[in-house]
Amino acid sequence: MALTAEDLRDLVALLQAHPEWRKVLWALLASEEVLRMPTELADLREELVELRAETERRFTELAEAVRRLSELFIAHRQEFLAQQAHTDARLTELTETVRRLSELFIAHRQEFLAYREETDRRFAEL
């Protein structure tokens, strides 16, 4: 039996007059997969909402962790810079001490050489 355009118009008019028949016709025409789609779509939306909430929660946790790490980094950097300044000051002190000791050593060596020369001269006179 062939379906004519007039038959189709009659079917449309009947479905408009009886909206409750649409569901029955849809169940007959659609496959099981198509019929499951609204439920599956609702399930996917619910899962998406849950995943988004979980993602937001984890993002918030990560943002907080980054904030804490940034604070720790800044504190450690300040501590490092203070320690570096202290080390630089100590190195400057030690450099000055070595310079003074070198000067004293040179002066002492010159004095020693002068005494040795004097001693050698005296022994030579004997």
Taking only the tens place, the pLDDT of each residue in 60-106 is 999 999 999 999 999 999 999 999 999 999 999 999 999 999 999 99
Taking only the tens place, the pLDDT of each residue in 102-121 is 999 999 999 999 999 999 99
Give a three-class secondary structure readout of 103-124. Answer: HHHHHHHHHHHHHHHHHHHHHH
> Please, which residues have CB within 8 angstroms of residue 14's CB and are 6 or more apart in sequence?
21
| Amino acid 39: pLDDT | 94
Taking only the tens place, the pLDDT of each residue in 9-30 is 998 999 999 999 998 888 888 8
Instruction: Calculate the alpha carbon distances from 53 to 8, 56, 57 in Å.
Output: 48, 5, 6
| Amino acid 35: pLDDT | 80
Q: Where are the domains of the chain?
A: 31-125
pTM across the whole model: 0.51
pLDDT at 1 over 80: no
pLDDT at 34 over 90: no
